Amino acid sequence: MHDVAAVVPDIVITPLFDLQVIQTLKTIKKYDLYNKNIPISVKSGGHGYFNGATCNGIMINLAKMDRRYVKDNVLYAGPGCAGAQTVDTLSKNKKAIPHGDCFGVGAGGHFITAGWCIILARKYGLGCQNVVGGRVILWDGEEVLVNENSHPELLHAMRGGAAAGVGIVTEVHLKLIDEPDFVTWKWTYLSLPQIKTCVEHNAFRRAQDLPKEITMAFRFFFKPFQLEPICSFNIQSLLSAEDTVAAVRSVLGDAVGDLISDLNKWNTGTLVDLRMQPASELVNNNRTMLADMTITALHSTPDIYWEEGSLLREMQRSYGTSISHWVVPESETMLLDLYDAFSAIKNTPARERTYALLIQGGGRMNELQDICAMPLGKALSRFEVHWDKPEDEEWNRGFTETIENIFKKKRDPKIARPYRGDIWMAEQGQDDKLDLVYQKYNRK
């Protein structure tokens, strides 16, 4: 979505509905382009790690296929339905589903490869684990309806396995839950002694025992007018602030509980209120804009839709790197290593263009592992850095390597594959079950 180094396709095809996708794939098959070393890529939102799903051949851009509606407690979403439009549709129907907080991610790529949701995933699983069906156009143009009774192996592949790469998903069907009556959240900026308190009390490991309604994360970043890095101790909950603090005290101890105990500093609101945290003041004050926040609009004028910090760190067009690793729950010492690494760059231009995240997983996500094609751990580390000038690449990639080495110290050896979009890397994409699905349905 943001990588200015991504190649520009020779041809971009932008279908509006299924028939045009079918016609496109039949034409590609007719002229045997699959076997002529012509790169072909598929883009829904362009938010993925894979250079926004672009290539130097033919790119099939699904951004205009953004139809979405709710029927019988199921969300039917086209692949180009942007995250903001998903939020809008669900809110209007008083429904919810686990999904990420990026307004520009397309439903196609997002829900068949991931769908992490900090507030809902521990209780209800990932977005991809709530996929109940969809439509897939195979590479020869055949349309396939997928559900529990029709092509169930493809349904499994749609739950975190990018449909095994057998074609183009033109609609995804998602099981919904009722919108929570309220949610609560608190971001607590920790001093270095307070970070050490969390480490000494094994706060991150012990958080696995918190109720599934509570999720904890640590986020490192910089504020424009503060020299030292910020470690934000973030808690999101489906319980009241009082009950959340009580649960944290009970599981993590009073020393950690004291860090979040001031109830006057907690936020209570709707799920949409929480989803709107990265949004600009304009969008927050005019939430009807969500319905019109298309993939194209978000790419063209991101400054209209994002608050300044999010824009600089993640959403502005730039060069960038992005990494994710499953890590073991016993990752508290990583907090001190990340603080030191960020402190070392506090006087560099990169300071306001980067963040690192250590986030709690587990809960329902792991309970639903058997129905999910993506290997899941119990904790995730994530990092991004962005820059504007090509000559800054070497330094930024060096810093990325520094952070990745910190992550690797705590990498979960039981999980064979990194989280989400990294599955597009050939050397990491080996999966016996998905390979069998690909062999059965591949029509190239």
Q: Which two tokens stand for residue 336?
A: 């001190």
Q: Is 262 a residue whose pLDDT tops 70?
A: yes
Residue 104: which pLDDT band, with cuts at 50, 70 and 90?
A: confident
3-state secondary structure of 232: strand
What is the rounded radius of gyration, in angstroms, for the C-alpha atoms of the chain?
21
Residue 116 has pLDDT above 60, yes or no: yes
DSSP label of 351: G
Residue 424's pLDDT band (boundaries 50, 70, 90)?
very low
The pLDDT tens digits for 383-411 are 999 998 999 999 999 999 999 999 999 99
Q: pLDDT band at residue 314, thresholds of 50, 70 and 90?
A: low
For residues 180-205, give the mean pLDDT. Answer: 98
Give tens-digit pLDDT for 134-165.
999 999 999 999 999 999 999 999 999 889 88
Distance CA 338, CA 342 (A): 6
Q: Provide the percentage of residues in the chain whose pLDDT is more than 90.
A: 77
Mean pLDDT of 263-271: 98
CA atoms of 34 and 38, how far apart (whole Å): 7
Name the region of 134 (left: φ>0; alpha: ψ -120 to 50; beta: rest): left
d(CA 267, CA 279): 17
Interacting residues of 369 by C-beta distance below 8 A, sequence separation 6+ = 375, 376
Q: Where are the alpha helices (DSSP H) in 161-240?
A: 192-200, 203-206
Q: What whole-number distance in Å separates Cα of residue 55 and Cα of residue 9?
A: 5
Contact 148/133 with Cβ under 8 angstroms? yes
What whole-number percentage of the chain has pLDDT above 70? Answer: 94
Mean pLDDT of 303-329: 84
Which pairs count as long-range contacts for 389-395, CB under 8 Å and 24+ apart, including other chains?
A: 390/5, 390/319, 392/319, 392/349, 392/350, 393/319, 395/348, 395/350
- Kindly tell me if the per-residue pLDDT of 72 is higher than 70: yes
CA distance 174 to 189: 36
pLDDT bucket at 426, cuts 50 / 70 / 90? low
Q: What is the pLDDT of residue 425?
A: 53
pLDDT-derived band of residue 429, with 50, 70 and 90 as boundaries?
low
Q: Which amino acid is at 271?
A: L
Give the pair of three-digit tokens for residue 293: 């926040």
Residue type present at position 178: D
In degrees and rounded to multiples of 5, residue 359 shows phi and psi of: -130, 140
**Between these two residues, 369 and 50, which has the higher pLDDT value?**
369
Q: State the average pLDDT for the chain.
A: 92
Q: Are 141 and 25 within 8 A, CB to CB? A: yes
Asked if residue 315 has pLDDT above 90, the reply is no
What integer pLDDT is reported at residue 330 of this predicted model? 96
Residue 2 has pLDDT above 60, yes or no: no
Confidence class of residue 432 from pLDDT cuts 50, 70 and 90? confident
* Token code pair at residue 377: 């751990």
Q: How far apart are CA 136 and CA 145, in angstroms?
A: 7
Whether the per-residue pLDDT at 179 is higher than 80: the answer is yes
Give residue 428's pLDDT. Answer: 55
Phi-psi category of 39—alpha, beta or left, where left has phi over 0 and alpha has psi -120 to 50? beta
| Average pLDDT of span 106-123 | 93
d(CA 138, CA 169): 9
Q: Among candidates 278, 280, 350, which has minimal Cα distance to 320?
A: 350
The residues with which 194 forms a beta bridge, in sequence order, are none
Residue 7: half-sphere exposure toward Cβ, Cα within 13 Å: 15
pLDDT at 421: 47
- CA–CA distance from 291 to each of 69, 142, 149, 205, 378 (Å)? 12, 31, 33, 39, 34
Among candidates 110, 62, 64, 60, which has minimal Cα distance to 83?
Answer: 110
Report the distance separating Cα 356 and Cα 318, nearest Å.
Answer: 18
According to DSSP, the residues that pair with 383 across neighbouring strands are 323, 356
Task: Determine the pLDDT at residue 422.
Answer: 45
Number of neighbours of residue 119 by Cβ within 10 angstroms? 23
pLDDT > 90? residue 313: no
Of 357, 362, 355, nearest to 328 by C-alpha is: 362
Residue 276 confidence (pLDDT) above 50: yes
